[in-house]
Amino acid sequence: MIQPMSRLKSVFTGAGALLLAAVIWVPCLHLFFRQPASNFYTQKGLSPKAKLLAARHLQLWTEPASREGELRRMRASNAEWDFMGRTFLVWSLANMGLREPASKDIYLKTMDQIIDETLRLEKQEGMYFFLMPYAKFRPYVAQPAHSLFLDGEIAMMLASRRLLEERADYKPLLTGRVNAIVERFKQSPHMVLESYPDECWMFDHVVALAAVRMADALDGSDHSALFRDWLEMAKHKLMHKDTGLLITSFTTDPTPLDGPEGSTIWMVAHILQFLDTDLAQDQYQRARKELGETTMGFSYAHEWPKSWKGQADIDSGPIIPVFNISPGSSGMAFIGASAFGDEKFLSSLVATLDFAAFPSRQSDRLKYCASNQVGDAALLYAATLGPLVEKVNARTKL
Amino acid sequence: MNADLRSAFAPPVQERATDTPSFLAKLWRAKFFSSKDFVRRALIICLLFGLAHLLGLKEFTSVLNGTTGSLALGWTISAILGLTYVLLYVALVLLVPIFLLAAAILAVWARVRPRKHP
C-alpha cells in the first residue's frame, strides 16, 4: 500500500514536472509556426499564401455549387459579408493583375463576373439585399435612401477593374455612381452620409472617397477640394481625443456612436493611403500602439483601445477572453501591417493565423476554417495590396 | 470435477477481480501524476483529437468568426462541434507536448535523484 505522504510527494513531483514542462514549451510554441513575412506578402509578384488563397477564391467563382454553399452560410449571419467578400476579392484581383500581368485575363474574367452579378442583384433585389435587416427598421434621414456602404464599395470595384484594364461600359457606371456620391457629400450639412438609417461609418466614407480619387485618376476629374474639406472635418469632428484615432461610426449630426475599433481602423489607415499618406501613417502607428499585441511570439489585435469600452458585435467577432483577442480586428490587422511594411508584426500575425485559424489546404488551394469567404478575401487583399495605391498616386497628385 | 471441488480450488472472488487484468489493462494502469500517467493522458488527447479531425469538425471552427458551420445542423450544434474541435486542438498543441515533456522530466529525475539506502 502506498503511504499517504509518499503519494502526496509523487503528486507534488508530478505537478512540478508539469510546471517546468509548461515553462519550457509555451514560449517555444510560436517557433513551430514562425515564418518570414514574405510567405504572406511580397513587394513584387505573389507570395505563396496569396497564390493559395487566390486559387481557392477563383475556384469558388468557377464552381457555383461551392460558392452558393459558402454564401448561404455567411448570409445566415450577415448579408454584408456576401457583399464584402465580393468587393475584397475584386480589389485583390486588380492588385494581382497589376502584379502578374501574364495572368490578367483570368483575373479580369472573374472580376467582371463578380461585378456584373453584384450589380444585377442590387438592381433586382434592391439595396437591402446586401444590408443587415435593421436597415429597414426606420427611414433614412436623407431621402431618397442610399447606402454609402454599397455605393462606395461598388464604385471602388468598378474603378479597380478599370485601373487594371479599361472597359468602356463600366465608365458611365463609375461616373454615375461617383457623381451621385459627390453630390450627396455636397448636400450633406456635415459631409457625412448614411450607410444605415442615421448611421454613418468611417470605413464606408474612406472607401467612397478613395473610389472618387480612383475615378479622378482614370477620367481626369479633380475632387481634391472635397478630399481636403472632408479630411479637415474628420480630424475635427470624428477623432477620438484620447487615442487620436478616427472613430468608427456616427450619426448624421455627426454624433459619435462607436469609438475607434480594430475591425475598422486598420482598413481605414490603409485606404487613407489614397487620400492623405501622412494621416494614413499616423493612424496606422496609433492603431499599432493601441490595438496591436504580441504574446509569446503570437500577434493579434484588440477591438478597442483601453480608453474605450465597447460591446462585441458582428464586426469584432466573439472576443476571446483573457487576451481580449478580436478575430475581426486581428484579421484586418493584416491589411495594416502589409500596407505599412510592418514586417515584424506581419510575421507574427501570420504565425497566429497558422496556429489558430485552422488552415485547410487541398492541392493548390488554401482556406482558413476559422475564417469564412469574406475573411479569406480580406486576407487575400492584405497579401496583394499596394499596386492600386501606387498606380492612383502616380497618376494624380494629392 | 463437481461444483464443490471447482469452488474449493478457485481463487477468492476479490482476488480474481483484481489480480487477473488483461495485458492492456495492466499496461494502461498508472499512478496519478506519474510519467506513465502523463503519457497516457497525452495519448487520450491525441486519440480524441484524431477522432474529431476525422469526423470533419474542423469545418465547424468558423464559429470563431460568427459563421455557422452547417445550416442543416443549426447554430447551436455547429457551435458545440466547432468549440469541441478548438478545445481538443488547444489540448493537442499545448497539453500533449507539456505532458510528454513532464513525463520525460520525471523519467530523468527518477534516474538522477539521490536514493535513500537502508
B106 vs A contacts (CB less than 8 Å): 13-14, 17
Which are the contacts of A32, defined by CB distance < 8 A and separation ≥ 6? none
User: What are A200's strand-pairing partners?
Assistant: A250
B101 vs A contacts (CB less than 8 Å): 20-21, 24-25
pLDDT digits (tens, 9 = 90+) for B20-59: 567 767 767 778 888 999 999 999 999 999 999 999 999 9
Contact A13 B109 (CB under 8 A): yes
- So what's the pLDDT on residue B76? 93
Question: Is residue A215 a part of any domain in this protein?
Answer: yes
- So what's the pLDDT on residue A253? 92
pLDDT band at B1 (very low <50, low <70, confident <90, very high): very low
User: What are A300's strand-pairing partners?
Assistant: A293
Q: Buried b / exposed e across A231-264, counting CB within 10 Å, b at 16+? A: beebeebbbbeebebbbbbbbbebebebbbbbbb
Question: Is residue A116 a part of any domain in this protein?
Answer: yes
Contact A358 B99 (CB under 8 A): no
Question: Is residue A313 a part of any domain in this protein?
Answer: yes
Any A CB within 8 A of B84 CB: no
Question: Is residue A24 a part of any domain in this protein?
Answer: no
CATH of the domain at A311: 1.50.10
Question: Is residue A5 a part of any domain in this protein?
Answer: no
Question: Is residue A331 a part of any domain in this protein?
Answer: yes
Report how far apart, in Å, the C-alpha atoms of B83 and of each of A15, A116, A124, A307, A368 are.
Answer: 27, 38, 39, 31, 16
- So what's the pLDDT on residue A396? 82
Any A CB within 8 A of B99 CB: yes
Ranges of chain A with pLDDT below 50: none
Question: Is residue A6 a part of any domain in this protein?
Answer: no
Q: What are phi and psi of A301, to 5 degrees?
A: -135, 145
Contact A17 B102 (CB under 8 A): yes
**Domain extent for A226:** 52-395
Mapped onto helix, strand or coil, the DSSP state of residue A2 is coil
Q: How many domains does chain A have?
A: 1
pLDDT digits (tens, 9 = 90+) for A188-233: 999 999 999 999 999 999 999 999 999 999 999 999 999 999 999 9
What's the whole-model pTM score? Answer: 0.91
Tell me how far apart the 2 most distant CA atoms of chain B are, in Å. Answer: 71
Return residues 50-69 of B near A (CB < 8 Å).
58-59, 61-69
User: Above 90 in pLDDT, residue B15?
Assistant: no
Report how far apart, in Å, the C-alpha atoms of A146 and of each of A137, A164, A252, A304, A387 are.
Answer: 15, 28, 13, 29, 30
User: What are A299's strand-pairing partners?
Assistant: A294
Report d(CA A65, CA A382) in Å as an integer: 27
Using CB atoms, which residue from A11, A81, A370 is nearest to B33? A11
Quick one: closest CA in A to B95, which residue?
A22
pLDDT digits (tens, 9 = 90+) for B80-93: 999 999 999 999 99
Please, where are the H alpha helices in chain A?
4-28, 48-60, 64-77, 79-99, 104-125, 148-164, 170-187, 202-219, 224-237, 262-271, 277-291, 327-339, 343-356, 373-384, 387-395
A331 vs B contacts (CB less than 8 Å): 65
Could you give the ipTM of this predicted complex? 0.86
Contact A26 B94 (CB under 8 A): yes
Question: Is residue A7 a part of any domain in this protein?
Answer: no
Contact B38 A18 (CB under 8 A): yes
